[in-house]
Chains A and B, each alone.
Chain A
């Protein structure tokens, strides 16, 4: 399986000022509920899921997603964002096992 915590974030290439655009992301994560059994050993697979995804733009909090095991494996999230200025979009996310990751990308507003 691909590395846990890897994320792909996508924003439009050209953004004009004042435009509301979509920010899409996919994170590689198993999102185990803790209720599923391993078919070989018969033991429960421990829960392992993302708990929090934070979107920050130029250091200011834009969106916080509180997630749980009800979100699908390799979660996909999309939110809207209003273009006011160019800057850095930082996405911080963490899971219930203490995993923490961060991903940044430049957003240039023309």
Chain B
């Protein structure tokens, strides 16, 4: 049988657990989310402001993705492939926004890359193309995610 005293004890333990819980959750995660600006700086040395949207690149991705674990993304560009150094994909709201870097060569014939990516939540998906002359071109597609795919 529960006495009044027991009830207080249980309530007390519960309250203490609640107080500790948020801290331990943060600790167990340890790593902080990387912002899109930091990711761009790390891989391209620029921030979001410096990137210009270009209509030469097209990003094909679903407007609404049922599952964030598997989002097909296709990047195409109307640029001769020998002028391109690398193609990047970023997803703003992911834990680490950098998704991939693809180095192409003239043997590819055209600028094209397709894959499937994970999205933690609704996020713009960015394709950035780095040209051999150092300039950067970007295209964005907003993808709505109903169920996240990172954890």
Listed in ascending order, the chain A residues whose CB lies under 8 Å from chain B are 20, 22, 31, 33, 35-37, 44, 57, 60-73, 75-82, 84
A71, B112: Cβ atoms closer than 8 Å = no
Q: Which of A20, A65, A84 has the most CB of B within 10 A?
A: A65
A20, B110: Cβ atoms closer than 8 Å = yes
B100 in complex: contacting residue of A62, A65, A84, CB < 8 Å: A65
Contacts of B113 in A (CB 8 A): 65, 77-79
Contacts of A68 in B (CB 8 A): 96, 98-100
A82, B107: Cβ atoms closer than 8 Å = yes
Cα A68 to Cα B43 in complex, Å, equals 13
A-B CB pair tally, cutoff 8 Å? 107
Instruction: With both chains docked as a complex, state the minimum distance between the C-beta of B39 and any C-beta of chain A, in angstroms.
Output: 10
B69, A72: Cβ atoms closer than 8 Å = yes
Query: What are 9 pairs between A and B in contact, CB < 8 Å?
Result: A62-B107, A63-B102, A63-B107, A71-B117, A72-B71, A78-B113, A78-B115, A79-B113, A80-B112
Contacts of A61 in B (CB 8 A): 105
Contacts of B104 in A (CB 8 A): 63, 79
B151, A72: Cβ atoms closer than 8 Å = no
Interface of B is mostly: mixed
Instruction: With both chains docked as a complex, state the minimum distance between the C-beta of B87 and any C-beta of chain A, in angstroms.
Output: 9
Instruction: With both chains docked as a complex, state the minimum distance between the C-beta of A80 and any C-beta of chain B, in angstroms.
Output: 4
B102, A44: Cβ atoms closer than 8 Å = no
Cα A63 to Cα B87 in complex, Å, equals 11
Cα A20 to Cα B109 in complex, Å, equals 6
A33, B95: Cβ atoms closer than 8 Å = yes
Instruction: With both chains docked as a complex, state the minimum distance between the C-beta of A50 and any C-beta of chain B, in angstroms.
Output: 10
Nearest residue, chain B, Cβ from A23: B108
Nearest residue, chain B, Cβ from A54: B103
Q: A20-B110, A35-B151, A79-B112 are in contact. Are A66 and B101 (CB under 8 A)?
A: yes
Instruction: With both chains docked as a complex, state the minimum distance between the C-beta of B92 and any C-beta of chain A, in angstroms.
Output: 12
B114, A77: Cβ atoms closer than 8 Å = yes
Instruction: With both chains docked as a complex, state the minimum distance between the C-beta of B122 and any C-beta of chain A, in angstroms.
Output: 15
Cα A31 to Cα B109 in complex, Å, equals 29
Instruction: With both chains docked as a complex, state the minimum distance between the C-beta of A79 and any C-beta of chain B, in angstroms.
Output: 6
Given contacts A71-B117, A78-B74, 14 further A-B pairs with CB under 8 A are: A33-B95, A35-B31, A36-B150, A37-B151, A63-B102, A64-B103, A70-B97, A71-B99, A71-B100, A79-B104, A79-B108, A81-B107, A81-B108, A82-B107
Contacts of A78 in B (CB 8 A): 74, 112-115
